[in-house]
A and B are shown apart, each in its own frame.
Chain A
Amino acid sequence: MVLNNIENLLEKYENGETSLKEEQQLKDYFSQETVAPHLEMYKPMFNYFSVSQKEQFTKQLPLKTSKGFNFKRLSVAAVAVLMLSIYVFKPNNLGETTITDAEKVEINNAKEALAIMSKHFNQGTAQVGYLGVINEAGTQVDYLKEITNPMDRLFKR
């Protein structure tokens, strides 16, 4: 009776028509020590299914929260800080230096000294202005050149 039932179930099983419950019946039947000899080959099949079902995933899961330490983000931040610091500190080396009051006084003194010097220099040039008269006189004496012309003609060079 039971065997007949199992055989029917096996046929349905092979056609993919059994329900989960019926498949469980088959598994139970084939988990016995002794089965009908002509159904012996089904035994390893169903036992394999039962045994495979017990295999477990044992590896640990590395679950990190996204807030965690992130090297990619850190490197981006580091580059940003680097660029910013270069931008901020470089102009200080080249740019306007701050001037203290003592330095201002020194600069003014130097300016005054230069002003005095240039004033005297200008006086000097003014005094030497009469030298210009010589140039004038030189041009007035140009007519003397005319004399050399007739001399050339006389001597027929």
Chain B
Amino acid sequence: MNQSEFLNIVTPFKDKVFRLAKRLLVSREEAEDATQEVLIKLWKNKAKIKDYKNVEAFSMTMTKNFCFDKLKSKQAQNLKIVHSNYQDHSVSLQKEVELNDSLDWVGKIMETLPEQQKMVVQLRDIEQYDFKEIAIMLDMNETAIRVALSRARKTIREKLTNTHNYGVK
């Protein structure tokens, strides 16, 4: 397998890997490093790629595990993850300032969710995978995914309702 063949396989989902990493690690730089790491691992094992049933799902699982390791080592070192990139490039594309603010707010709410719910929302509501694929990626059963998803959605909605009613934006 040469480079262009590899890139053809990887390109459709490399952004998804990046977004999942960013959801978990928050910082853009950390997420970029993580994505790079995951893709390089894939490249090194390129001989085995044909054996994988679903390269995309496999990569997402790798990303999840890699990010968890990162988070653990961060905790062990008692370091906080630095995320100075609150002003998201893609979000700032939005012209309305007001909307921009409330979008940021959704991002902040999602940060407060437990890791598992973060991932489920990321994979379902943002990446639009179906439950079967998410089940493979996260090694969970579909019912558990639905429950986590429902909880996360309700939490986000509740918190948004509060800010909406109080007018805190």
B6 touching A14, Cβ below 8 Å:
no
What bracket does the count of chain A residues touching chain B fall in? 20 to 34
Q: How far is the CA of A103 from the CA of B146 in the complex (A)?
A: 99
Contact partner of B17 (CB less than 8 A), chosen from A57, A58, A63, is: A57
Number of A-B contacts (CB under 8 A): 97
B126 touching A49, Cβ below 8 Å:
yes
Contact partner of A63 (CB less than 8 A), chosen from B43, B90, B127, B157, is: B43
B99 touching A63, Cβ below 8 Å:
no
The 7 closest A-B pairs by CB, nearest first: A57-B18, A44-B102, A16-B146, A16-B150, A48-B106, A16-B149, A41-B160
Q: How far is the CA of A55 from the CA of B44 in the complex (A)?
A: 26
A108 at the interface (CB under 8 A from B): no
Q: How far is the CA of A24 from the CA of B94 in the complex (A)?
A: 20
Instruction: List chain B residues, Cβ under 8 A from A54.
Output: 90, 93
Nearest CB of A to B150, in Å: 4
Instruction: List chain B residues, Cβ under 8 A from A13.
Output: 153
Q: Can you report 19 residue pairs joining A to B where beta carbons are below 8 Å apart?
A: A14-B154, A14-B157, A15-B146, A16-B147, A20-B128, A41-B161, A41-B163, A43-B102, A47-B103, A49-B125, A51-B93, A54-B93, A55-B19, A55-B88, A55-B89, A56-B90, A57-B14, A59-B36, A63-B40
Nearest CB of B to A153, in Å: 112
Instruction: List chain A residues, Cβ under 8 A from B99.
Output: 44, 47
B146 touching A17, Cβ below 8 Å:
yes
A45 touching B106, Cβ below 8 Å:
yes
Contact partner of A44 (CB less than 8 A), chosen from B17, B35, B43, B106, is: B106
> Size of chain B's interface in residues, with CB distance under 8 A?
47
Majority DSSP secondary structure for residues of B touching A: helix
Contacting residues of chain A (57-89) with chain B, CB-CB under 8 angstroms? 57-59, 61-63, 65-66
Instruction: List chain B residues, Cβ under 8 A from A63.
Output: 3, 6, 40, 43
Could you tell me which B residues sit within 8 Å of A by CB distance?
3, 6-7, 14-15, 17-19, 22, 32, 35-36, 39-40, 43-44, 88-91, 93-94, 99, 102-103, 105-107, 124-128, 130, 145-147, 149-150, 153-154, 156-157, 160-161, 163-164
Could you tell me which A residues sit within 8 Å of B by CB distance?
13-17, 20, 23-24, 40-45, 47-49, 51-59, 61-63, 65-66
Nearest CB of B to A101, in Å: 64
Q: How far is the CA of A43 from the CA of B103 in the complex (A)?
A: 9
Given contacts A45-B160, A52-B126, 13 further A-B contacts (CB under 8 A): A16-B145, A16-B153, A23-B128, A44-B106, A48-B106, A51-B90, A55-B18, A55-B88, A55-B89, A56-B90, A57-B17, A61-B39, A61-B43
Q: How far is the CA of A59 from the CA of B29 in the complex (A)?
A: 10
Q: Of all chain B residues, which has the CB nearest A53?
A: B126
Instruction: List chain B residues, Cβ under 8 A from A41.
Output: 157, 160-161, 163-164
Nearest CB of A to B91, in Å: 6
Q: How far is the CA of A38 from the CA of B44 in the complex (A)?
A: 53
Q: Of all chain A residues, which has the CB nearest B162?
A: A41
Nearest CB of B to A150, in Å: 113
